[in-house]
Structure 1
Amino acid sequence: MNQRLLTGTALALSGVVLAAMQALHAFQQTRIPVAIAVDALPFVAMGLAIVYAGVWLVRDTTFEGATSRVAAWAAGGTVAFAAIAALLLFSQRVTSGSLARASYLTVDLVTVGALAGVLVGLYDARSRSRLRELAAERDRIEAFAGKAADVNNYGRAIASAPSVDGVAAFVVEAFGTMTGMEETAVIRLKDGDAVVLANTIRTVPVDVVGSLAQEVRTQQQGEITVHDRPFSVDIPESVTDCVSAVVLDDEGTATVVLSVTTDETTVGEEDQKLLELIVSHASVRMATLDRQSADREPTEK
């Protein structure tokens, strides 16, 4: 059973018991309404506060995994104040005639101790939860900064690549680094044919990769698209996700990059933005190399 539910329920029941005992003790000591209110209301309110804390603990998932600390603090506070009550009573040399009054004092201090422990425990649990969130955010920022540095390095490498095949090789490496997908291909489509510029895809046949590239070439140039099953072409069941982008679409010739994975790999929005920068670098360099190649052809003839 869920530990958070058990702890919250136990706290709520303890609060109900303490509030009921405080009300009972107040009625046992006097029948004067004002005296009952003055004696009982503060401690009944403390018991109800413990009930509220227990209900809050059950409903709020923030405390998931930290309920044991709340329970430990509550138990510690109860024991500590019970010990204080015992010391006070022993120091006053309680006689048998004053045992009833001693029980009232003990319940009062136990109520105060339980509430104090619960409040400290809740604060401690929330603080630790916040620290975990900050640590996760720090790790995310550090990971993003590392990927941004990789984008910068790949951008420089792509800009200096001497050939289209060289650009494609860098794109394949960059996509693998940024997404964790180890299988990537860069396909050039022209006149209905698919030419592989670079390919590390092993789980999907080359002709199927070419067919998938034909399907995704209608995407907007430079935009990263994440595909889930079912795919538009027949791809082996082991492939779970696919990432695609049109690197360059110029005069009937399109260059497409595809990454596939057999694991449940998540490509977040931030990663997609970084991949779009890679694609942008590749698009500019490929367009430049294609123009240079076209300019050389008349000269060679």
Structure 2
Amino acid sequence: MNQRQGTGAALAIAGVALAAIQVLHAVQQTDIPVAVALDALPFAAMALAVAYAGVWLARDSTFEGAATRVATWAVGGTVALAAVAALVLFSQRVATGSLARASVLTVDLATVGALAGVLVGLYDAQSRARLRELERERDRIEAFAGKAADVNNYGRAIASAQRVDGVAAFVVEALGTMTGMEETAVVRVEDGGAVALANTIRTVDEGALGRLAEAIRTQPQGDVVVHDEGFPVDLPERVAGGVSAVVHDDGDAATVVVSLTTGDAAVAEEDRKLLELIVSHAAVRIGTLDDDAADERRLR
């Protein structure tokens, strides 16, 4: 049982105990059913509301880490209203010389204070949770904006590259930066085999990388595929996953990119879309460079 569940259980027990005391006080003061109901039900309902709030706190993980705050508010509310009861009783004692119904008044006000404190504590905890969620969303949007700016910068760099291996180098840098994955390679796959145009992969040998590139070639061109459950070919166990894409395929040769990681291979959907923009920029530039190279060969 963690702190949140323990605090919730304590509140639930306290609420049930207060409800029982309210009923006991009402029965002790009169045997008229209507009077008992009018005296006991309102405060018993408040006490049961405290118990319900305790159950809610124990079961809802939203309040994880906020149990101390809720408990503090509950204790504070109870003590504050109990202090009010003490002042009222002191005034009654001075004015009338009697402390009639002292325990009843004290429990009534303590019940009200406990309920008020719990409700304020839960509201405070929820407000802080919403604030943290908004802060996380703000950070996510700022991170996405930074990545989108990176896509724009890499797009310009790719468009200005004069050679295919230059495009490959920018793609390797872009995917490594945007995914945080440790190793990336751009591989040209032809009938004669596979050749790495740019390569920072060290956990996979060249033969396995070539087989992986040939398997990736079967994917739809331009789509970035997240391999969070492994790749279509056997790789060392330390490779947890990665991403891959067919950058360009003219039928005779295909250029593919693959990133590997030994850690978390998860990629958010918005990040995957940004990676596809990088791949699209590279596809256009590689296609242009290949066409220019083919034209030069024909002119010779």
Deviations 1:241-264 (A, max 9, x none): 121000001022100001001112
Q: Residue 248 of structure 2 corresponds to which residue in structure 1?
A: 248
Contact 1:94 1:102 in 2 (8 A): no
Q: Distance in 1 between matches of 2:229 and 2:112?
A: 58
Distance 1:241 1:120 in 2: 46
Alpha carbons 2:18, 2:111 under 8 Å: kept: yes
In structure 2, C-alpha distance between the alignment counterparts of 1:78 and 1:220, rounded to whole Å: 65
Match in the other structure for 2:101: 101
**Paired letter, 2:43:** F
Deviation at 1:208, TM superposition (A): 1.1
| 1:217 equivalent in structure 2 | 217
- For the residues of structure 2 that align with 1:95 and 1:106, how far apart are their CA atoms? 18
TM-score norm. by structure 2 comes to 0.96
Partner Cα separation in structure 2 for residue 192 and residue 98 of structure 1: 105
Given that 2:168 and 2:186 are in contact with CA atoms closer than 8 Å, whether structure 1 keeps it comes out as yes
Question: Which 4+ runs in 1 deviate beyond 4 A?
Answer: 94-100
Which residue number in structure 2 is paired with residue 36 of structure 1? 36
Q: How far off is 1:231 after superposition?
A: 3.1
> What per-residue deviation string (whole Å, max 9, x for no partner) do you get for residues 44-76 of structure 1?
110111111111112211111111110010000
- Offset of residue 201 of structure 1: 0.7
Structure 1 unaligned spans of 5+: none
| Structure 2 Cα separation of the partners of residues 169 and 14 of structure 1 | 66
Write the distance in 2 (CA, Å) between the matches of 1:146 and 1:108.
Answer: 57
Offset at residue 184 of structure 1 (A): 0.3
8 A Cα contact 2:172 2:186, kept in partner: yes
Structure 1 range deviating more: 91-100 or 16-25 = 91-100
* 1:122 to 2:91 alignment: no
Structure 1 residues 170 and 94, CA, compared in 2 at 3 Å: closer, same or farther? same
When normalised by structure 1's length, the TM-score is 0.96
CA contact (8 A) 1:222 1:246 kept: yes
Task: Write the distance in 2 (CA, Å) between the matches of 1:290 and 1:55.
Answer: 67
Deviates most, 202-211 or 230-239: 230-239
Equivalent in the alignment of 1:198:
198
Give 5+ residue unaligned stretches, structure 2: none
Q: Is contact 2:92–2:99 with CA below 8 Å preserved after alignment? A: no
Aligned residues: 300
**1:207-286 to 2 correspondence within 5 Å?**
207-286=207-286
Tell me the equivalent position of 2:297. 297
**Match of residue 141 from structure 2:** 141
Kept in 2, the 8 Å contact 1:180–1:265? The answer is: no
- The 5 Å alignment of 1:62-73 reads 62-73=62-73
Q: What fraction of aligned residue pairs are identical, expressed as a percent?
A: 72
Q: Does 1:184 align with 2:184?
A: yes
C-alpha displacement of 1:37:
1.7
Deviates more, 1:282-291 or 1:201-210: 201-210
**In 2 relative to 1, CA 87–65 (structure 1 residues): closer, same or farther, beyond 3 Å?**
same
